[in-house]
Amino acid sequence: GEDVEQSLFLSVREGDSSVINCTYTDSSSTYLYWYKQEPGAGLQLLTYIFSNMDMKQDQRLTVLLNKKDKHLSLRIADTQTGDSAIYFCAEKVTDKLIFGTGTRLQVFP
Amino acid sequence: DAGVTQSPTHLIKTRGQQVTLRCSPISGHKSVSWYQQVLGQGPQFIFQYYEKEERGRGNFPDRFSARQFPNYSSELNVNALLLGDSALYLCASSLFNSRDEQYFGPGTRLTVT
């Protein structure tokens, strides 16, 4: 089946690291993505990882993939107030993206 | 470089009416996908088009249709609108390669009353 799950809410202090988790069910996923959505806006592609990789780092972002457990995480280092948004993970299955329900990240001073 | 553009930004329709939403992809992208995002949920896949051919269809009723033009822009049509069609409609464009990174437009907010 196709299902992507995320925790709904995460609150962190400015300057700390944030870790957003995601689990998916379809083992045929080839790529997995992280998107950011700010209020009233479309989705911004942050990063992606190929399914045969276990880690990818891109500036403040680190993606970890545990393919055995079908678990994906996004770590944001030195979280800033501008990082406050909803974060979606998505898996690519054939020609479509399957999105999670999103995790709302709130950053407080 | 211009990103994905969508029009209109907002739209209010009444039940039973029909609506057409438009999307222009990033220059050089030949694939367009449409998603519906209901408030509080993640986007749900509706269609993907590549080179004017439908390449994928999500679990939506036949009231939803789309097409892609020779310049790779696309239209999404929804007939016989229901209250439950109220949502943010997102268009994404991509190169349609194996990685298929999809870049999203700002969306069209449709309200059905």
The confidence score (pLDDT) of residue A51 equals: 87
Query: Are the beta carbons of B41 and A102 separated by less than 8 Å?
Result: yes
Q: Which of A17, A45, A18, A19 is nearest to A32 (CA)?
A: A45
pLDDT in tens, A12-67: 999 999 999 999 988 787 899 999 999 888 899 999 999 888 999 999 999 999 99
pLDDT category, A71, cuts 50, 70, 90? very high
Q: How far is A7 from chain B (nearest CA, A)?
A: 12
Residues forming beta bridges with residue B88, ordered by sequence position: B37, B109
Minimal-distance CA residue of chain B relative to A104: B40
The confidence score (pLDDT) of residue B97 equals: 79
State yes or no: pLDDT of B1 exceeds 80. Answer: no
What are the tokens at A19?
A: 């870790």
- Burial pattern A74-96, b for ≥16 Cβ within 10 A else e, equals bebeebeeebbbbbbbbbbbebb
pLDDT category, B99, cuts 50, 70, 90? confident
- Contact yes or no for B56/B80 (Cβ under 8 A): no
Query: Are the beta carbons of B4 and A42 separated by less than 8 Å?
Result: yes
pLDDT in tens, B12-51: 999 999 999 999 999 999 999 999 999 989 999 999 999 9
Q: For all residues of chain B together, what is the average pLDDT?
A: 95
The confidence score (pLDDT) of residue A26 equals: 82
The confidence score (pLDDT) of residue A1 equals: 55
**In B1-113, beta strands by DSSP E:** 5-7, 10-13, 19-24, 31-37, 44-50, 53-57, 64-68, 74-78, 87-94, 103-104, 108-112
- Contact yes or no for A61/A72 (Cβ under 8 A): no
The confidence score (pLDDT) of residue B16 equals: 98
State yes or no: pLDDT of B96 exceeds 90. Answer: no
pLDDT category, A2, cuts 50, 70, 90? low
* Vertex B24: Cα angle to B21 and B26 (nearest 5): 150
Rounded distance, CA A29 to CA A52, Å? Answer: 10
Nearest CB to A96; choose among B4, B58, B99: B58
Rounded distance, CA B93 to CA B33, Å? Answer: 6
Number of A–B residue contacts, CB under 8 Å: 58
